[in-house]
Amino acid sequence: MSAVRIPSCVRLRTSVRAAAPHLLALALLQVLLALLALQKGQAAFSALMSLYLPLAAAVGTFCIACAAFGADLRLALCTGVLQEIGAALQCILGAVSVRALTAQLAVSVCGALALCAAYERWSARLLQAPWLPWAACGGTGALYLALLVLGTTVSGTRAWLRIGGLSVQLTEFVKLFALLFWALVLTDGARSLRHRYLLALGFLAANAAALMLINELGTLLLLCLTFAALCALTLPGRFGLCNALGAGGALGLGALAAALVTRAADAMGTVPEGLFYMLWRVCRKVADRVAIAADPGADAYGAGYQALAARRAVLLGGALGSRYKAVNVPVGESDYVFPVLILHMGCLFAAAVVFVFLLTLIFGARGALRSASAFEQAAGVGCSVMIFCSMLVPVAGSLGFVPMSGIPMSFIAAGGTAQLTASMMVWLTALFGASRRAVPAPPAPARKECAACQTDSDFVIPIQL
Amino acid sequence: MTRLDRVLAVCTATVLLLTFAFLYTCSLLPGLAPKADSQKRAAQEAARRQTVTEGEIFDKNGAFLTQVEEGKSTAVCLYPQALSWLVGYNDPAMGAAGLRAVCGSELFTARSDGRGAALYTTLDLPLQLFAASLLDGREGSVIVLDNATGAIRALASCGPTAFDVNHLSDSLAAANQQEGALYRRGTYETDPPGSAGKVITAAAALADGIIDLSYSDTGSFTPLGTSSAIHNFADQTLGRLDLGTALLHSSNTYFAHLGTLVGSAQLAKQAEAFLIGRDIPLDFTTLRSSYGGVFATPAQLAQAAFGQGKLEITPLHLAMIYQSIAANGEMRKPYLIDHYVSGKRVYGASGVKTLARPISGATAKKLRELLHPVAESYGLDEAALKSADVPAPLSTVWAKSGTAQCPGGRLHCYLAASNSAYTYLISINNGKSSADLYAPMKALITASASGWDKK
């Protein structure tokens, strides 16, 4: 297998020229954002100016890399737009220092580059290995074990690991392992459809149990949505329908069970230890979130305070942001970043962000389909869906349409680990759809077709989605 | 269309729906969503207010009722037990009530110094504090009106739950647990006035020329067309009565009979003269009352004539009726807001207004003559008051008590009294007997004397 070749200077110049319009657009956006930050105050403007070059380097690197490898530049443009808006918002909020933001950008670019390089180097061999899905399972298990043993609890959720002075949200990497496992399993032509579905579902169930144990329900929601989308896209007609019905039925049963558990626990007065306590805690959290979404005013100074502050922020934002400084939305740099985006940058910017996420999904999914590998197609689509859902759920939650969950909005919310994993996903998706890869996409594994396998489905390589 | 196209179409539709929903929610286009527009205005007002130092509220002598602490922008109510229901609150999440709601545009609009205007009320703080102490946790109100001007010198309220505007969330949470806890006693609740309302019938009779009806009280009176008899309190038989002795002994049968003689039209006319059945907008609230519109049957007429039936008024309105008796027939408009001060500018002075002239001066004088012995029977005689250092003009008192039967078996006890300077009303919404109010009334009249000295 040949190693990744670094583009030559000529190729680099060609790539820069090809990416020039996109780089120019991103530069103009940075100027616009700088003017907006100037309106917000000297501190915001200075912070954004300090971040100007690192940000330009980060988004420029992705654009040039996409141009060099023949990936969809529109995906790079969308990602760049989101990163620039996210950085500008964090500078306006001032909750994260410029140094930390610069470090996050650097780590995300380097991490994504490293992953892409490693993928190019070793994917052809590794994807043939039958133990790879189980390695993904093992990796996921190791992450959960590390969280249970060494993890840090924040607001009742044990999703962080402190390494030195850094806090790493390990559940973000669970998403990557999940995408890897599902893409491998759901596109494995050697297994029957039922087997693929059950394996994928079993992995989801195991993650669900572990995530409930650490009380991280936002990631669980994201995994469920991505799983449903992948099954709907990769499984043939009736399996996809069964999946949807099964998911809906499971959701309904789960809600009923949650209500029964909560009511039983309240009737008992005290909650016993052990498994029942874990179930009760999860159900209580869901019930509280639903109650807050339904009527935040019922506990205006307690559980509903954040939701009410978020609503006030949405009302005050106007078209291009407001000057109201007295509105404080707790955790506005991460969980409630969308209302804060509206408050400081206005509804037009917020609507633009939502549409850019949609475009990221479209360009990412369609780009991934250009790959000759079923695995890459599924993984690329999965990454695009996950990034899209990381916008959809927080936006709907912070506007009060659905119960709020603590999912960080990719590229917009503060969080180094979220930034890193989102960059990895986007870079990989772009790589899968690249036309001038150093190493061609790995072929499908040469396995004897399973007699029970459906042949009228989407698992004929390349995937017909 | 491939499956991916379908999924992307669903995602696009979801995004369009979400975007429209949040543009609708954030009221970007005025007029598209009236509810969102009003929420936006409220949020803008709340956010603007947070940049303003709240204007402070004072009593008539300049004593602080609310005060802004150093470095803060919101004022603290200094006497929450006595003033919470009057001062109220103005909170983005909880809403607004009381003076802080009514005067919000002045208190929370920044002037040149970044502060809201200062509000001077008509309250007499020592009298207000004393009035609140008289309630002693009982559900009810204590009102003191200035007869000459209608200024409210005291308006103390107490509900079934403790209400402290400095701890608003807890107070409202506690109040929400109990039905009927979330309104100010004295200006909102409408109950029959009981025997305290007999002055209305007496005024109607005097106006109709029935100066001195003599009646033999046998302990019960059955109006025409009904088999339900009206009885006196404790089923007393009071014998031969005239208007004066009937008021003194608070004979229900006498007044029921008097009401039938006065007639439905005349009694209704007198009730309307006292503004019963009309909304009375004041500078801090609106008073509501009713008497049912017309006394359709003799039974209804008889019931209303002794202060029951469909006759329902607020305690403040009842105090206004007695104030008009004390002020020779002129019913003044009660007011709480005296003026605003912003920098060197003084503005917003309410001024004295006359709402109505429900009775003539002669009728008022006659009623005072009739009510003076009643006051003496309550221990509010001149000698007793003078011995408590109440100066001469204030020691001549006219009074009437009442115990109204309300739905659910509840008794609403009143004691209304007036002297030449003030009208007083003590109202206990869930009391046992109006006789329990004699001593507190004497203490209230005594306490007001010191305020009268400084007037």
The conformational region for residue B217 under phi > 0 = left, psi -120 to 50 = alpha, else beta, is: beta
Q: Does the distance separating the beta carbons of A327 and B19 come in below 8 Å?
A: no
* Strands ordered across the beta sheet of A166-169: A152-154, A157-163, A166-169
With beta carbons under 8 A apart, name residues in chain A contacting B39: 311, 315
The tokens describing B411, both together, are 């008794």
With beta carbons under 8 A apart, name residues in chain A contacting B23: 347, 351
The tokens describing B115, both together, are 């502060």
Residues in chain B: 455
Q: What is the DSSP letter of B73?
A: S
With beta carbons under 8 A apart, name residues in chain A contacting B28: 318-319, 347
Q: Is the pTM above the cut of 0.90? A: no
The distance of B175 to chain A (nearest Cα, Å) reads 13
The Cα–Cα gap between A384 and A228 comes to 14
Q: Does the distance separating the beta carbons of A312 and B18 come in below 8 Å?
A: no
Q: Does the distance separating the beta carbons of A350 and B12 come in below 8 Å?
A: no
The distance of B285 to chain A (nearest Cα, Å) reads 26
Question: Cα–Cα–Cα angle for A57, A63, A64, nearest 5°?
Answer: 85
With beta carbons under 8 A apart, name residues in chain A contacting B7: 229, 232-233
Given this model, what pLDDT does residue A362 score?
94
The Cα–Cα gap between A56 and A52 comes to 6
Could you say which of A240, A312, A392 has the minimum Cβ distance to residue B14? A392
Search chain A and give the residue with CA nearest B20: A351
Q: Does the distance separating the beta carbons of A366 and B93 come in below 8 Å?
A: no
Q: Output the tens digit of pLDDT for each of chain A's 465 residues.
A: 344 455 566 677 888 888 899 999 999 999 999 998 898 888 889 999 999 999 999 999 999 999 988 889 999 999 999 999 999 999 998 888 899 999 999 999 999 999 999 998 888 888 778 888 888 999 999 999 988 888 887 777 778 888 887 788 888 999 999 999 999 998 888 888 888 888 888 899 889 888 888 878 888 888 988 988 888 888 776 666 566 656 656 666 666 666 666 667 666 666 556 666 666 777 777 777 777 777 766 666 666 777 777 888 888 888 888 876 656 777 677 778 898 898 889 888 899 999 999 999 999 999 998 888 889 999 999 999 999 999 998 888 887 777 777 788 999 998 889 999 999 999 999 999 887 765 555 555 444 444 444 443 343 334 444
Q: What are phi and psi of B120, to 5 degrees?
A: -105, 120
Could you say which of B12, B25, B47 has the minimum Cβ distance to residue A316? B47
Q: What is the DSSP letter of B335?
A: B
The distance of A317 to chain B (nearest Cα, Å) reads 8
**Sign, CA torsion A176/A177/A180/A182:** negative
Given this model, what pLDDT does residue A1 score?
37
The tokens describing A56, both together, are 């330009």
The Cα–Cα gap between B22 and A351 comes to 9
Search chain A and give the residue with CA nearest B26: A315
**pLDDT tens-digit map of B215-245:** 888 888 888 888 888 888 888 888 888 899 9
**pLDDT tens-digit map of B114-131:** 889 999 999 999 999 999
Task: Write out the residues of chain B at the interface with chain A, using a CB-CB cutoff of 8 A.
Answer: 2-4, 7-8, 11-12, 14-15, 18-19, 21-23, 25-28, 36, 39-40, 43-44, 46-48, 50-51, 92-94, 169
- Nearest of A62, A85, A59, A203 to residue A137 by alpha carbon: A203
The Cα–Cα gap between A27 and A60 comes to 9
Given this model, what pLDDT does residue A5 score?
52
With beta carbons under 8 A apart, name residues in chain A contacting B21: 399, 401
The Cα–Cα gap between A24 and B362 comes to 93
Q: What are phi and psi of B154, to 5 degrees?
A: -155, 140
Q: Does the distance separating the beta carbons of A311 and B47 come in below 8 Å?
A: no
For the beta carbon of residue A426, count every other beta carbon within 10 angstroms: 27
Give the confidence band of B78 by pLDDT, cuts at 50, 70, 90: very high
With beta carbons under 8 A apart, name residues in chain B contacting A318: 26, 28
Q: How large a percentage of chain B has pLDDT more than 90?
A: 56
- Nearest of B248, B95, B250 to residue B168 by alpha carbon: B95
Q: Which residues pair with B432 in a beta bridge?
A: none
With beta carbons under 8 A apart, name residues in chain A contacting B36: 315
Q: Does the distance separating the beta carbons of A316 and B40 come in below 8 Å?
A: yes
* Strands ordered across the beta sheet of B140-146: B152-158, B140-146, B422-428, B411-418, B398-405
For the beta carbon of residue A354, count every other beta carbon within 10 angstroms: 18
For the beta carbon of residue A191, count every other beta carbon within 10 angstroms: 19
Search chain A and give the residue with CA nearest B37: A315
Search chain B and give the residue with CA nearest A319: B28
User: Is some CB atom of chain B closer than 8 A to the CB atom of A318?
Assistant: yes
Q: Does the distance separating the beta carbons of B11 and A388 come in below 8 Å?
A: yes
Q: Which of B20, B22, B49 to mutate to test the interface with A (most CBs of A within 10 A)?
A: B22
Could you say which of A351, A381, A399 has the minimum Cβ distance to residue B25? A399
**pLDDT tens-digit map of B172-228:** 888 877 777 778 899 999 999 999 999 999 999 998 887 667 888 888 888 888 888
Q: Does the distance separating the beta carbons of B36 and A399 come in below 8 Å?
A: no
User: Is some CB atom of chain B closer than 8 A to the CB atom of A6?
Assistant: no
**pLDDT tens-digit map of B244-267:** 999 999 999 999 999 988 989 999
pLDDT(B313) > 50: yes
With beta carbons under 8 A apart, name residues in chain A contacting B47: 312, 316, 322, 324, 326-327
Q: Which residue has the higher pLDDT, B432 or A401?
A: B432
**B71: number of CA atoms within 13 Å, CB side?**
0
Q: Does the distance separating the beta carbons of A361 and B8 come in below 8 Å?
A: yes
The Cα–Cα gap between A189 and A283 comes to 38
With beta carbons under 8 A apart, name residues in chain B contacting A316: 40, 43-44, 47
Could you say which of A308, A347, A401 has the minimum Cβ distance to residue B93? A308
Given this model, what pLDDT does residue B360 score?
94
Question: Cα–Cα–Cα angle for B172, B177, B179, nearest 5°?
Answer: 100
- Pairing label, strands B118-121, B57-58: parallel
